[in-house]
C-alpha cells in the first residue's frame, strides 16, 4: 500500500477489535473504502486464530498520474495532445490504455499532415508511491505537402473563390482537419446558392418582398456567402 495511510484506512473500518464478527460491518467497511475513490479493488476474508478470527482487508490502490511530459510536438499544442489522449494530470493511470493513447496521438499528427509520425509513451513510477510520470515522445517526421489542387464537377463558383475559401495552396502542409472544415464551408456556400436560385424561381416579378435577418449569425452568413447579390432585385433584406 505504497502512499496509503494505514491509520486513515482504520478510521473507515466498521470492524473493531474485540467485537463479534459481523458480516454487515465488513460489507459497510468495504463500501466506505470504495467511496474514497482511492482503491480499484477491495477484498476481505477471515483467518482463524486462537480465541477468534482475524479480518483481513486486501486493498489495491489506484495508480495515479502525477504529471505528463510531452516532447517533440512543435506543430501541435500540448493541450491538443492531451485531448487526443483523453487523460489529464491526476487521472488514474491504467497501463492497458497506453497503446490507445499512442494511437490517438499518432492519428492527431497523421491528420495534421505528419503521416510518418512516431509516438512512444512510457511511465515512470515515483519512488515509494503509486504515482507515475508519463512521458510522451513524438517524432513528427517530414510533413506531407499539397502537390496540386483541382476542382471537378459542377462547382457553381469560380476557381479563385474556391481556392480562397479552401485556404490551402500547393506546397502547404496537408492538414486534413483544416481541409475538412473548409469543405464544410464550401458545402454551405453551394447550399446557399441553390437556395437563392430556388427563391428567384418562386418570386413573382410584379411583387416586392422583404425578409428580416434578426441575429448576428444571419448577417454573417449573408456577407460571407454574398447572398444579397444572389437574390432577385425585388427581394430586400431588412436588418432586425
Residue with cell 454551405: 188
End-to-end CA distance of the chain: 66
Per 3-state DSSP, what percentage of the chain is helix, strand, and coil (rounded to 5)?
40, 25, 35
* Separation between Cα atoms, residue 42 and residue 59, nearest integer Å: 5
pTM (predicted TM-score): 0.65
Q: Characterize the bridge pairing of strands 39-49 and 52-61.
A: antiparallel
Residue with cell 483541382: 150
pLDDT along the chain (240 residues), means of 10: 74 91 94 89 92 91 93 96 93 94 97 96 92 96 93 76 84 90 78 78 88 79 75 82
Question: Is 58 within 8 Å of 47 (Cβ atoms)?
Answer: no
* Separation between Cα atoms, residue 48 and residue 148, nearest integer Å: 79
Cα angle 118, 120, 123 (rounded to 5 degrees) comes to 170
Cβ-count burial of 115 within 10 angstroms (0-12 exposed, 13-18 middle, 19+ buried)?
Answer: middle
* Separation between Cα atoms, residue 185 and residue 179, nearest integer Å: 10
Instruction: Please tell me the predicted confidence (pLDDT) of residue 205.
Output: 87
Question: Is 101 within 8 Å of 87 (Cβ atoms)?
Answer: yes
**Tally of residues, the chain:** 240
Instruction: Please tell me the predicted confidence (pLDDT) of residue 167.
Output: 85
In this structure, the number of other CB atoms found within 10 A of the CB of residue 223 comes to 9
Instruction: Please tell me the predicted confidence (pLDDT) of residue 30.
Output: 94
Amino acid at each position: 500500500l505504497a502512499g496509503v495511510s494505514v491509520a486513515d484506512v482504520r478510521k473507515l473500518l466498521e470492524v473493531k477489535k474485540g467485537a463479534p464478527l459481523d458480516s454487515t460491518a465488513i460489507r459497510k467497511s468495504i463500501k466506505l473504502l470504495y467511496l474514497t475513490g482511492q482503491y480499484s479493488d477491495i477484498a476481505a476474508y477471515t483467518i482463524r486464530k486462537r480465541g477468534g478470527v482475524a479480518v483481513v482487508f486486501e486493498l489495491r490502490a489506484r495508480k495515479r498520474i502525477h504529471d505528463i511530459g510531452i516532447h517533440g510536438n512543435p506543430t501541435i499544442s500540448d493541450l491538443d495532445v492531451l485531448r487526443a489522449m483523453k487523460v489529464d494530470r491526476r487521472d488514474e493511470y491504467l497501463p492497458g490504455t497506453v497503446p490507445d493513447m499512442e494511437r490517438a496521438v499518432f492519428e492527431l499528427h497523421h491528420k495534421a499532415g505528419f503521416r510518418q509520425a512516431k509516438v512512444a509513451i512510457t511511465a515512470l513510477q515515483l519512488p515509494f508511491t503509486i504515482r507515475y510520470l508519463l512521458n510522451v515522445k513524438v517524432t513528427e517526421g517530414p510533413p506531407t505537402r499539397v502537390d496540386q489542387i483541382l476542382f471537378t464537377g459542377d462547382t457553381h463558383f469560380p476557381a479563385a473563390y474556391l481556392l480562397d475559401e479552401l485556404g490551402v495552396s500547393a506546397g502547404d502542409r496537408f492538414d486534413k482537419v483544416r481541409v475538412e472544415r473548409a469543405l464544410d464551408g464550401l458545402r454551405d456556400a453551394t447550399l446557399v446558392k441553390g437556395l437563392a436560385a430556388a427563391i428567384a424561381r418562386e418570386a413573382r416579378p410584379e411583387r416586392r418582398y422583404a425578409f428580416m435577418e434578426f441575429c448576428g449569425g444571419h448577417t454573417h452568413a449573408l456577407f460571407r456567402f454574398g447572398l444579397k447579390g444572389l437574390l432577385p432585385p425585388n427581394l430586400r433584406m431588412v436588418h432586425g
